[in-house]
Structure formats: C-alpha cells, structure tokens
Amino acid sequence: MRLHLLLLLALCGAGTTAAELSYSLRGNWSICNGNGSLELPGAVPGCVHSALFQQGLIQDSYYRFNDLNYRWVSLDNWTYSKEFKIPFEISKWQKVNLILEGVDTVSKILFNEVTIGETDNMFNRYEQCSFSWDWGPSFPTQGIWKDVRIEAYNICHLNYFTFSPIYDKSAQEWNLEIESTFDVVSSKPVGGQVIVAIPKLQTQQTYSIELQPGKRIVELFVNISKNITVETWWPHGHGNQTGYNMTVLFELDGGLNIEKSAKVYFRTVELIEEPIKGSPGLSFYFKINGFPIFLKGSNWIPADSFQDRVTSELLRLLLQSVVDANMNTLRVWGGGIYEQDEFYELCDELGIMVWQDFMFACALYPTDQGFLDSVTAEVAYQIKRLKSHPSIIIWSGNNENEEALMMNWYHISFTDRPIYIKDYVTLYVKNIRELVLAGDKSRPFITSSPTNGAETVAEGWVSQNPNSNYFGDVHFYDYISDCWNWKVFPKARFASEYGYQSWPSFSTLEKVSSTEDWSFNSKFSLHRQHHEGGNKQMLYQAGLHFKLPQSTDPLRTFKDTIYLTQVMQAQCVKTETEFYRRSSSEIVDQQGHTMGALYWQLNDIWQAPSWASLEYGGKWKMLHYFAQNFFAPLLPVGFENENTFYIYGVSDLHSDYSMTLTVRVHTWSSLEPMCSHVTEHFVMKGGEAVCLYEEPVSELLRRCGNCTRESCVVSFYLSADHELLSPTNYHFLSSPKEAVGLCKAQITAIISQQGDIFVFDLETSAVAPFVWLDVGSIPGRFSDNGFLMTEKTRTILFYPWEPTSKNELEQSFHVTSLTDIY
C-alpha cells in the first residue's frame, strides 16, 4: 500500500504566536488500486473494503460467500492520496511532523513525491487474525485505520505522557510516578516548572525542570500524604471504581504552557505463586488491593474485521454486557489487536480487569534484528500507552506459543528444538520481558498463556508440560467426552481458555444469508464453520443428552438445530465453569485451588458458528444468560459423585452472611413440587466454596414419593428472611432425552411497558426446560433466558438498547422450549 500526500504551497500568510499547532488529515481521501483501473473516494480512518462498500462497488463483506469473492481486494495494491493546504506557514516552525497513528500494514509513504517513510507493523504507532481463524473470516484489510495529522511546534513538544500509581507498603502511602517524553527543538535549554494537581486528594506539587535539546524524559515522583484517604479502584462486584482527576501543567520558557489532564486510579495487583498444603506445585491467583479475587469472565477478540466499524456505542454495549453477566475479567487474546484507548477507558470505568496478551499467537516467530527492532518499538509503545490503566492486571508475552513449542505442534525435529527454544527465549524473555520490567513495575508479567508461571522460569523459560494442573494457567478443550461429566475437566489452578461452539440465532444469520442457505448441511453452513468438524461435534455433544430435531419442515429443523446448539453450549460451559468455581477452596487428589475461569470466547467477529456468548452486534446467546447466573457473586452448585448428590455454596463476597439452602424436587409432569427441604441457618463465609448439602440420590428419590431419575429434576437456591440471595440453580438426574412425563408446554406472554423497560408476564401449561424468549432483531436483552420453568407463571423484563414499542415486540416475539422439538 502507498500513502501519497501532495502539499500545495498556497499557505496562509497570517502569523501565529502559538507554540504548537495540529492540522488533521482525517476525512476524504482518494483511493486507487495497483494498476489505476479503479479510483474512488474513501474515509480516513478507514480501510479499502469499507470504501468500496460505501461507494456501492461491493456488497456487505459478510454476506454469504463474500469472504471468498472479495479476496481480490486484499491481493491488490492500493494507494491513498490526498492534496491539501496547510493553514499555517511552515517556515515559521522549527519542526513539522506527519503523524500516522495506525497504518495497516505494509506501506510506503510519499510526501510531494518524496518517500519519507515505510511501515510494516500495524501494532506500532504509525493483525494476524485478519487472515482468518477457526471463528473468523479472512479479510486482510489495508488502509489508514487510525488518526493522521500534521503537527508543528517550536521550543519543544510533549510526545508521550504516562503514569503509574505505586503503593509503598513500608510507608503505607501512595505515590505517583509520572513520565513525560519531550522533543526539545530549541537550541538552548528550556527551563520552567511543572505543577501537578489532584484536588480531591488535596495534592498540589511543583517541580523545577530544565530540558536540554533533543529527546528528553522528565520523571516526577508525586507523594500522596498518608493523612489523606485514598479510595482504591476495585473490580466489578468487589467495590467502586473510584478515580481522581489530575492535571499536569508544564510552564516553560518562551510562554509555552502544556497541560495534560487524566483520571488516576489507585490499586495494587499481585500474582500469588506459593506452595499449597496437600498439593505439589504452586498457587496461581491474583490479589487486588490485598484481597484474593476469583477471576470470572471470558476472552475478547476484535469486535469486527473492519476496525472502522467498531464504534463507541458498540464497545460500550459489549463491555456493559460483560458486567451485566457478573463478569469481572476479559483476556485480550494475543492473536487480535491491542484495543483502542476507549476500550481500556471503559474497562477502567466498569471495573473489568484485563489480562493483556502481547500480539503473538500460535506461531514460531523470527528473531532477526529487523524483527526484534520492530517488536521493541511495538512493545515499548504499547506499555507507554496502556500502563496507566488500572484495569490491566497482567501482561502476557504470547498466546500458546510455549505450548506449541514444547508439545511440538509444528513437528520440529528433536535436534532442531534447541534452536527454536533459544529464539523463543530471545523474543519473549530477553526482549519483551526486559521491556516490561523496565517500563512498568506496577503489574506482573508471564511469558505465555498457558504457562507454568514460576515453574516455567525455573525450567529455563519453557516447561515440559505448560498445561500442568499444578502450576499457572491451562487451556482445555474436549469435544468428545461428555461435557455433563465434570470429571473430564482439569482441576487446575486457573482456566484461562475453555469452551464449546454454538450457532448464532436465526435472526443474526438471516441478514447475511439467503433461503437456500437455511440448512445445517448447506454449502453456506459448511463454509461458515471454520473449525474442522465443528458442526458434527456440536450435534454429537447435543445428541448425548437431547433428541435431535426431526421436523419435516427444513427451516423448522434448521431453527431447532440452532436452538439446540445454544442449549448444548450453555449447559456444557455452565457445568465446566461451576466445576472451576466450586474447586476454588479445596484440594482433592492433590489438585484444586482453581482461582479463575475465563471461557472462550466473549464476542463474535462475524455471523457464524463459534465459541462466543455474544453474537455479532451484541445479541446475547443462551450461554451469556447462563453466565449471568453461573458467575453470580453467591451461587449454589449441584453435582453428583458416586450416586450422591452434593450442593456447594460459592461466595465471591467480602463478608460472611447467614442464610438457608432450599432444595426442591419437581416431576416433569407437574407444576407443583414433589417435595421441598430447607436447611438450618448457616454462615456462608466470604470468598469461599464449601459443601452445604449431600444426600444419596436414592434417598432423595425415596423421600420424594414416586420420583425416579427419569421423572424428576432438582432445583435449589440460597435465601435469607425469604429474600433470594442467589439464582435458582438446577440439576438433571438423567438426560432430558430420557425424561418421563415431559409434555409439550404451551407458553404465552402478556407484554406491558414500564418506562423504558418492558415486562413479559409468562404463563405455561407444563414444566418447560430451556425456555428461550426471542424478539428477533430488536436490540436488547432479557433479565433471564434459557431458564427451567417449573412454576405456572414467571415475570421477565426486557431492556431495549434502542427505542422500540410494545407493538414491535409483540410482532417479533417468539418463545421456544425443549418440549417444542420433542
């Protein structure tokens, strides 16, 4: 790609007294292909695909097979051109810079026909999943995807401004380290003072500085008086996200004033790796502000193949859905992109912790000097840009590259392995790690994910088994074993990737498909599935516990199959996540103390089958509604072991609470419970997972009259003074496909409006598993969905994301339960 800028020397003659000016080159540019046969206008920031679409030259890139049809766009060379007049006189400025915040990816930059620069790294200031993954299409975009402008200045210019709050344990006080990088173009030293003010912390400090000509760094150390109460930043569900407004004013010689404003958050983060009684290996968990936190959440991928489509509204919608589902963590996966500033600002605001990978994934990378220089610039820039965000709690060098190397994914000969290990250590340890240690002392660093953490270090930076249950984090996928059997899951220290696929809803697929595509075995369905064997794996896993759709109507079968894949995914991830949560406080067979569960993946990049819980555009799948419950701060978890039924209580709370557990047994054939048992009051300790109830299944069934495994189901919840403290959870005593007495449920809804919220009053004629409420393409979410309906009536709320009406909801509303496909 070429960037061709032509400066017209018809300049404004008026003088200026400003010490710094900026002229944006955003807006309309001209784009042409390699041989000049195609020329069109295009917006910057933007990309070629978006420009072609906006001019009506291509369809929606996600429609049907357009990821194949439009490969020619990526295979061609493109030139972005712009002619412009600068509204100031260049000769009056000591330095004039062309700033390109993001160029995708390999380009040559010409200014007035003179080559002034080249780029080869979109993660620097001037993506690998663009070339497809098993959840996304191949759209290697080209374009100027971030801001472009001309900056002119005299005396000096502030290039970077970053800071880190540091807590001094010995003095029990907070300090703030501020780092500012200047380009001093004056031939003489520039003196002045810096005033740092944080009004709500009654802090104002003044410093004298003198900047010598050239590139200069100013480091300031701000002490916050221990007599001032500093409110800390907490993850969602653990406290407030308190921040303080700070201004830093540089008053310099020549009347030059430079002011920066920022929000400062104070928090500490520790990665605890220490021996555990009764278990070999080491722990792997995080303390925030000294408090152990179980990390609950998912893995983030780019929200779109085309970054110019990722709006502020979309980011807020997706991240709000994270906290609405009781999550507190996202892992920004190393095969995507370093997200835009607004992403991290929203995570700060919402209390979402970020596990930040550097952008290296599932590959063996070179270590020639040119590549290392590019990586050095990339990593140093990203550390400066991001380290002030409290939401980021850890840096990770890469995604799965240690495991790929040591498990020999790429069939390296034994004799060549030392060469690759040396290259691995050179890149991630001697390069990236050293840059992190030098640039950011406020959070931990690990070389990879999965990794054995401290054990990996002890083994020379690569472990023989990076996926060990006794150290660090694990990635776990198993599509063949029965996901309802919790014994197949690793009782690891931390699960940072795991999951199952499902298809997105029909209303999402309908926008990018045609009638002939609406079959599970259509060419479209096979093409959209990028995970080898994925469609068969979904049906296999679903068929273990559910009857597969048998309708004679092909469209009905397709819709029912989509529904069933979402049921399967939600139930599988629920079982696995609840296993990790209840394993947080115990050691069984020397394994346990699991302190994190981040399922793969949160969001979709296009409309296709994937592991995501949020569809492209943000619609909640059944899994996301389940996550709202299985990530609840207080949760009862039921499971069987050796024909005994257990219920654990899991608490993320900081305090102890007195409560009771209610256990009910229902038959599939009646809306009245067969029996109910309420425990004595007990105290649930904060931050623990303990066994609250156990009973042999045979005794449970005998106590409840004529119950059998096939005819009954168990539900249970925690409460205090008749007030529900937890979601109502459930346990199937047999596979639903073996259920006796389950009959077709007739479910009706009366919709009313209360302000901006809509109320759905539901009534059912029979017990209904996995009740799914759908309003098509109307943006919004329900208060609950995919639930087991064991009572005749239930009230559910709908929160629209855009203005809608009761009439629109009534016309779009459809309800499905498992009984509709049996």
Strand-strand pairing, 285-288 and 291-293: antiparallel
Token representation of residue 540: 């296999």
Is the link from the previous residue into 753 a cis peptide, with omega within 30 of 0?
Answer: no
Amino acid occupying residue 131 = F
**Residue 17's pLDDT band (boundaries 50, 70, 90)?**
very low
- Cα 277 from Cα 465, distance rounded (Å): 22
Q: Is the pLDDT of residue 161 over 70?
A: yes
CA distances from 37 to 40, 43, 47 (A): 10, 20, 18
- Cα 375 from Cα 380, distance rounded (Å): 8
Residues above pLDDT 90, as percent of the chain: 89
List pLDDT tens digits, range 193-219: 999 999 999 999 999 999 999 999 999
497 assigned to active site: yes
Pick from 59-73, 108-122, 706-720, 793-807: least confident: 108-122
The separation between CA 608 and the C-alpha centre of its own chain, rounded to angstroms, equals 18
List pLDDT tens digits, range 407-421: 999 999 999 999 999
Per-residue pLDDT, averaged over 482-501, amounts to 98
Q: Is the pLDDT of residue 163 over 70?
A: yes
* CB within 8 Å of 192: residues ≥ 6 apart: 208, 209, 210, 250, 251, 252, 253, 256
List pLDDT tens digits, range 381-394: 999 999 999 999 99
CA distances from 765 to 628, 671, 707 (A): 27, 8, 21
Q: Which domains does the chain have, with CATH numbers?
A: 18-151 (2.60.120.260), 154-263 (2.60.40.10), 288-629 (3.20.20.80), 633-736 (2.60.40.10), 745-814 (2.60.40.10)
- Cα 533 from Cα 547, distance rounded (Å): 20
**Residue 90's pLDDT band (boundaries 50, 70, 90)?**
confident
The separation between CA 284 and the C-alpha centre of its own chain, rounded to angstroms, equals 20
- Cα 394 from Cα 357, distance rounded (Å): 8
List pLDDT tens digits, range 639-683: 999 999 999 999 999 999 999 999 999 999 999 999 999 999 999
Query: Treating both helix axes as pointing N-terminal to C-terminal, what angle do 341-350 and 312-324 enclose, rounded to 10 degrees?
Result: 30
Q: Return the HEC string of 565-607.
A: HHHHHHHHHHHHHHHHHHCCCCEECCEECCCEEEECCCECCCC
User: Cα dihedral sign for 391, 395, 396, 398?
Assistant: positive
Contact 89, 12 (CB under 8 A): yes
Token representation of residue 478: 């198993």
- Cα 559 from Cα 569, distance rounded (Å): 16
Contact 607, 509 (CB under 8 A): yes
- Cα 328 from Cα 335, distance rounded (Å): 22
75 SS3 class: helix
- Cα 328 from Cα 628, distance rounded (Å): 11
Contact 664, 358 (CB under 8 A): no
pLDDT at 5: 63
Token representation of residue 99: 């700033």
Residue of 241 and 147 predicted with greater confidence: 241
Q: What is the separation, in whole angstroms, between the first and last Cα of the chain?
A: 56
List pLDDT tens digits, range 693-746: 999 999 999 999 889 999 999 999 999 998 999 999 999 999 999 999 999 999
The separation between CA 359 and the C-alpha centre of its own chain, rounded to angstroms, equals 14
pLDDT at 254: 87
List pLDDT tens digits, range 325-335: 999 999 999 99
- Cα 122 from Cα 185, distance rounded (Å): 28
- Cα 646 from Cα 529, distance rounded (Å): 38
- Give this prediction's pTM: 0.95
**Residue 16's pLDDT band (boundaries 50, 70, 90)?**
very low
pLDDT at 120: 80
Within a 10 A sphere around the Cβ of 470, how many other Cβ atoms? Answer: 20
Contact 623, 613 (CB under 8 A): yes
**Buried b or exposed e, range 364-384, using 16+ CB within 10 angstroms:** bbebeeeebebbebbbbbbbb
Beta bridge partners of 781: 799
Per-residue pLDDT, averaged over 529-537, amounts to 95
Q: Return the HEC string of 426-447.
A: HHHHHHHHHHHHHHCCCCCEEC
Q: Is 345 exposed, middle or buried (0-12, 13-18, 19+ CB in 10 A)?
A: middle
Single out the catalytic residue among 497, 576, 578, 615. Answer: 497
pLDDT at 129: 62
The separation between CA 497 and the C-alpha centre of its own chain, rounded to angstroms, equals 12
- Cα 75 from Cα 71, distance rounded (Å): 6
pLDDT at 510: 97
Within a 10 A sphere around the Cβ of 730, how many other Cβ atoms? Answer: 17
Strand-strand pairing, 729-732 and 682-684: unpaired
- Cα 58 from Cα 304, distance rounded (Å): 18
Q: Is 641 exposed, middle or buried (0-12, 13-18, 19+ CB in 10 A)?
A: exposed
Is the link from the previous residue into 554 a cis peptide, with omega within 30 of 0?
Answer: no
Single out the catalytic residue among 127, 400, 402, 576. Answer: 400
pLDDT at 88: 86
